Amino acid sequence: MDPKKIETEGNSDPNQSGRVYHLALDIGGSLAKLVYFTKKDDGYVHGEERISPQEALAKSKGSRSYPVVKGRLNFMRFETSKINDLLEFIKSEKLHLGGSRQQDVPGNQNMFIKATGGGAYKYADLFKERLGISLDKEDEMDCLVAGANFLLKVVPEEAFTYLDEQKQFVQIDHNDLYPYLLVNIGSGVSMIKVEGAGKFERVSGTSIGGGTFWGLGRLLTKCKSFDELLEMSYRGNNRVIDMLVGDIYGGTDYSKIGLASTAIASSFGKAISDNKKIEDYNPEDIARSLLRMISNNIGQISYLNALRFGLKRIFFGGFFIRSHPFTMDTISVAVNYWSKGEAKAMFLRHEGFLGAVGAFMSSDKHGLEELLAPGNMSCAVDSRHDSVNGELNGDESIECRLYAS
């Protein structure tokens, strides 16, 4: 892409865009994710000195030190099927005015927002018509990897393991992050071997993902939302519907090959012989069987791919997980079981926003450019805006400094 002449909304209409300086979107099959940066009112700093945007720009051009904007990264999500809610939110919060305008031809002003995911293509016309915004499309895998690398390197306590109801934060050594397997569980699942910044390959995937859980769950339980379905699974008992090894072997293990009587032999297998209709089952039990089936399958295929490439660490992201203890536990147990303890499943605090964060970080030209020296934008994290202590909440915002590197 050729460099473009940028005129920021901040310059042309400072009253409207004083707070929001930048945003990016990841529009998937089920959910649309939004990441945006809000500046603190006193947010310009240069070393220890507080300065104005103009000073920051001037200083950055004249020196090798970095201009910095202090503020907060915010995370939001919407159902893709309710894309209008997202449009309305952007409009009402005037987020799009924090985007950048491109003036190729006088009188033809284009506003750009970085966007990734299939919806960046599918809804491009809608954003143009309704908000006058052009979606500047970034490749989905590029963004997932960039987002994961950023979060793992920059955000403290971003990664954690979860096993036996114990979560444990993992200190990531920046020099020992690669290689790893990134498993992004959205509507479908992508598995990406990551070997370095921008160095990756999508090696596998499965169509049995979050969309399967939600789609089948909706049909089977009449739940109204993904969260309701997850909530139900907390209270369910999968043994009511799953055929266990013990159900086939008359209550005993199949010990010769190490299958306990409680192991699931066939997901939903009991439904074949019960003379029950769908209404006769407890929706909670169905939700639990479904969650376990899908989580276990993802854990298994992930492990097999990690094994194939000799990767010891598997990071799981995507909105399917939702920091749901049972989901994480099932995935962890699957990875642990199949790898005989050799591979480790790890989770990301901002699991659902990998793509959106990656799109956000890809902005080397738009939005913040007037504040920052040319080059890639970067970010240092001061602290997370924690919700209740110990509660994992993917929507939590991050207090950070943006700077050009």
Instruction: Report 244-263 residues binding a second copy (CB under 8 A).
Output: 245, 247-252, 254, 256-257
Closest approach of a second copy to the CB of residue 270, in Å: 7
Residues 68-87 that bind a second copy (CB under 8 A): 79-81
Exactly one of 17, 60, 116, 297 binds a second copy (CB under 8 A); that residue is 297
Q: What is the side-by-side strand order in the sheet with 180-185? A: 166-169, 159-163, 344-348, 313-317, 180-185, 189-196, 199-206
Between 26 and 158, CB nearer to a second copy:
26
One DSSP character per residue, 99-117 reads: SEEEEEETTEEEEEEEEES
Cβ-contact 404, 375 below 8 angstroms: yes
Closest approach of a second copy to the CB of residue 129, in Å: 14
CA distances from 143 to 25, 318, 358 (A): 10, 12, 4
Beta strands in 262-369 (DSSP E): 264-266, 313-317, 344-348
43 binds a second copy (CB under 8 A): no
Specify the stretch interacting with a second copy by CB under 8 A; choose among 90-98, 144-152, 155-163, 236-244: 236-244
Closest approach of a second copy to the CB of residue 246, in Å: 9
Residues 96-135 that bind a second copy (CB under 8 A): 117-119, 121-124
63 binds a second copy (CB under 8 A): no
Cβ-contact 339, 381 below 8 angstroms: no
Structure tokens at 254: 């199949």
Exactly one of 307, 378, 381, 401 binds a second copy (CB under 8 A); that residue is 307
Residues 170-229 that bind a second copy (CB under 8 A): 186-188, 202, 204, 206-212, 214-216, 218-220, 222, 226
Q: For the window 330-359, what string marks contact with a second copy as x by the rule CB under 8 A?
A: --------x---------------------
Structure tokens at 253: 């293990």
Structure tokens at 87: 């449009």
